[in-house]
Amino acid sequence: MSEKTDVATNAFRGISESDFIAEAEKNTGFTKNESIIPFTRILQALSPQLGNTPGAQPGMLLNVVSGKLTDGKEGMFIVPVAHQWNYTEWVARENGGGFVADWGDDEAGWQAKCEPEQRNAYKPITKDGNVIVKARHFFCFQLLGNNELERILLPFTGTGLKIARQWSSIMQSAPKIATSKGMIVPPYYYYVYRFYVEEVKNAQYRWFEPRVKLHTQDNKAVSIMDYAEGEEIFDYAKRTRDGLQSGALKAASQAEEAEASEDTF
């Protein structure tokens, strides 16, 4: 796995493994805010990254931290680890645009800045004219092959919220497995999903929307246990989920990566 867990035979060379582990446990010096998970975005025709990312084309998937591109139609195989609502505040485009604040999942916080009739609007407007963008963030592993994976974050907003709801339904109705307590829906990170992009057109425009479906082979749902490193992925998913809940891990800052764009997918 990238964020590799396999140990090379010469990893310690002349150092004893016990000393190596003891020193590793003393690692310090990085703040919680530096343990970030990068956004993956669908590039659209007007995405600012098209002009500064070599090889970028509309419909591709872009890791905004590494700059790595993935063919959107082919898509990627992913494992969902956790999900949460996220609210961000922006200056309206007609007023020049720009990032104002990341409210995280604090719905009451941004609602306090809105008139009552705006609090349940599709895109609420604050009393000072800013726009609130509602999003659902899915923290995932992208399975890269060769025993490697990468932590990513998929943000859904606007029309993409419908896809997020569909995905949530798929996860909640995923095939059950037999246990000593009967048939249960396994942890969300047990199954593998295919995330890909589909082109949508109307008379004037074309754009790209996300799609998610359960990955199957021979009419059977594919799980992480179908991978040689499945137990490692399971354990790593647990630790990543706990890190997100404790705040030790976080998403890349919207202010840093969005560059005054309020669009996700």
Q: What is the CA radius of gyration of the chain?
A: 20
Average pLDDT rounded to a whole number, residues 207-217: 95
CA 135 to chain centroid, in Å, comes to 11
Average pLDDT rounded to a whole number, residues 47-66: 90
Summarize pLDDT for 80-109 with one digit per residue, the tens. 999 889 899 999 989 988 889 989 889 999
Mean predicted lDDT score pLDDT of the chain: 84
SS3 223: strand
Whether 111 has a pLDDT exceeding 70, the answer reads: yes
Cα–Cα separations (whole angstroms), residue 198 to 43, 59, 145: 12, 8, 23
Whether 5 has a pLDDT exceeding 60, the answer reads: no
Summarize pLDDT for 118-147 with one digit per residue, the tens. 999 988 999 999 999 999 999 999 999 887
Q: DSSP assignment, residue 39?
A: B
CA 143 to chain centroid, in Å, comes to 13
- Per-domain residue ranges of the chain: 37-258
- Residues 209 and 157: their CA atoms lie apart, in Å, by 11
pLDDT of residue 213: 96
Average pLDDT rounded to a whole number, residues 37-61: 90
SS3 164: helix
Whether 54 has a pLDDT exceeding 70, the answer reads: yes
Q: Beginning with the edge strand found earlier in the chain, give each strand of the sheet holding 40-42 in spatial order.
A: 40-42, 61-63, 69-70
CB 262 within 8 A of CB 88: yes
Summarize pLDDT for 148-183 with one digit per residue, the tens. 899 999 999 888 999 999 999 999 999 999 888 889
Whether 114 has a pLDDT exceeding 60, the answer reads: yes
pLDDT of residue 12: 53
Strand residue runs (E) in the chain: 36-37, 40-42, 61-63, 69-70, 76-90, 99-104, 131-145, 148-157, 177-179, 182-184, 193-201, 206-214, 216-217, 220-221, 250-251
